[in-house]
Structure 1
Amino acid sequence: MNVWLRNSILLALMLAASGLAFALRPTQKIAEQGPKVDLETMIPQAFGDWREEQQSATQIVDPQQKAMIDKIYKQTLSRTYVNGEGYRIMLSISYGSDQTDSMQVHKPEVCYPAQGFVLQGKQVGSLKTSQGSIPVTRIFATLGQRSEPVTYWTTVGDRVVASGINKKLIEMSYGLTGKIPDGMLIRISSIDPEAAKAYAMQDRFAAQMLAGLAPEYRQRVAGNLQLN
């Protein structure tokens, strides 16, 4: 085979591969289908025995500087809730309409140390609700005298992701159907030196919050729940 013919074949193969990659490029955003996500209205200000505390002195940790938030997320919601016992829970939800490699959720185990916290522990768990179970991650962060146990989970499209590999596989499965998934990070925390007590309260809070959501919004926040 002469050099000209070999180069021509290689060029043809490269063009074919480029055309196939372009044809398979996801173009349909899930965010543009179904109920529109509006965190302020879809998350109730009161549910179960929890009520939003309008004037709270509790500082909620920012996931990153504002410029980074605006780049990664389309919407964010930060609220503090209090129950009849006076226990406070901080809720932070970040929503991105494009969960591709260039736009990814920022995990608390990254953003907390970036804000000066020391990460004391990390574990995986399962949050059980009346609608099903959610795989969650729990971290324990400290900053001086402030101890903050955190429970969080992330969604890609209509699924909760349990790990980085799981997340990538779900993104690829959407991509093969031509869809660009949206994503959400739901973070629940409280200032409490007793981690076990805090996680139990956070589980109770999350279960009551999900029960108070409309079904179409519940899927957005918690994915397709696995039956207990």
Structure 2
Amino acid sequence: MTTTDHAHDAPVLSRRQAILGGAFLVTAGTAIARVPHHNIDLLGDRKIDKLIPQRIGAWEFYSKSGLVVPPADQLKDALYSQLMTRVYVAADELPVMLLIAQSGGQTGVLQVHRPEYCYPAGGFTLVGRDVLPVALPGSRLEATAITATADDRTEQLLYWTRVGEDMPLTWVRQRWSVARANLKGDVPDAVLVRVSALTADREAGMATLTRFVQAMFASVPPDVRRFLDIDAR
């Protein structure tokens, strides 16, 4: 009796195993098919520090140090393909700090760090987050304006991010931009552009940063403007 029961059970177990095995294969095949393979990189093998001039409007390059940078965690090298930091000075303007970080490939695992992440990690408190439109020739750039304060430092920030062909204004939208591109099979590049000035006067600081951004776009060719802002002309 026992032998007969086992004989009847064996084919049932085999069919179940076959069905489960087939399901696992289909799932694995779907996952592989959805893995993004097409890299979109608007920078290519060019170097950011060669594309951004050392003179921008009234400002001239002064130094590479003094900026708040993304935390030196274990993901930093994998996260950024290039990271440029510069301080620009002008006779009748506030000094401006410029940071441009580029990642050659954005997935759902690694994404560019927005200032809302790296500044609090450096001990800053962020207040007054607003969207500040910056008029450019033939287009308008929507940048994020924030005031960062620490014990001995107040910094006015203006920044934006480009992910592939999107200009996300928030971390959630940035994640959605990456996910949408990945689902289409694309691995988009991304760039974070941040300008800042050391001043407690928010209005004066933002006015200075706006003029600097407008001068920067005027000083680079169309392909570099598109790398910085997909809508720029």
TM-score scaled to structure 2, two decimals?
Answer: 0.85
- 1:47 matches 2:52: no
Alpha-carbon displacement from aligned partner over 1:160-201 (angstroms, at most 9, x marks no partner): 212234323322332244221111111110001101111111
Match of 1:20 in 2: 30
Tell which deviates more after alignment, 66-75 or 176-185.
66-75
What is the aligned counterpart of 2:39 among 26, 29, 33? 29
CA contact (8 A) 2:128 2:147 kept: yes
- 1:61 matches 2:68: yes
Q: One-letter code of the match for 1:224?
A: D
Instruction: Give the number of aligned pairs.
Output: 223
Q: One-letter code of the match for 2:110?
A: M
Identity of aligned residues (%): 30
Q: Which runs of 5+ in 2 are unaligned?
A: 1-11
Match of 2:216 in 1: 209
Q: One-letter code of the match for 1:20?
A: T
CA-CA distance at 1:107 after TM superposition: 1.3
CA contact (8 A) 2:108 2:179 kept: no
Match of 1:78 in 2: 85
CA-CA distance at 1:68 after TM superposition: 4.4
Tell which deviates more after alignment, 69-78 or 91-100.
69-78
Match of 1:163 in 2: 170
Which protein has the larger Cα radius of gyration, Structure 1 or Structure 2? Answer: 2
Runs (4+) of structure 1 exceeding 4 A deviation are none
Q: Which runs of 5+ in 1 are unaligned?
A: none
CA contact (8 A) 2:108 2:178 kept: no
Separation (CA, whole Å) in 2 of partners of 1:119 and 1:164 = 15
RMSD: 2.4
Match of 1:10 in 2: 20
Alpha-carbon displacement from aligned partner over 1:20-77 (angstroms, at most 9, x marks no partner): 221231112222x7753311111111122221124x8x72112212754323111111
CA contact (8 A) 1:93 1:187 kept: yes
Find the residue that maps to 2:167 and give its secondary structure. strand
Match of 1:150 in 2: 157
Match of 1:38 in 2: 47
CA-CA distance at 1:115 after TM superposition: 1.0
Tell which deviates more after alignment, 170-179 or 37-46.
170-179
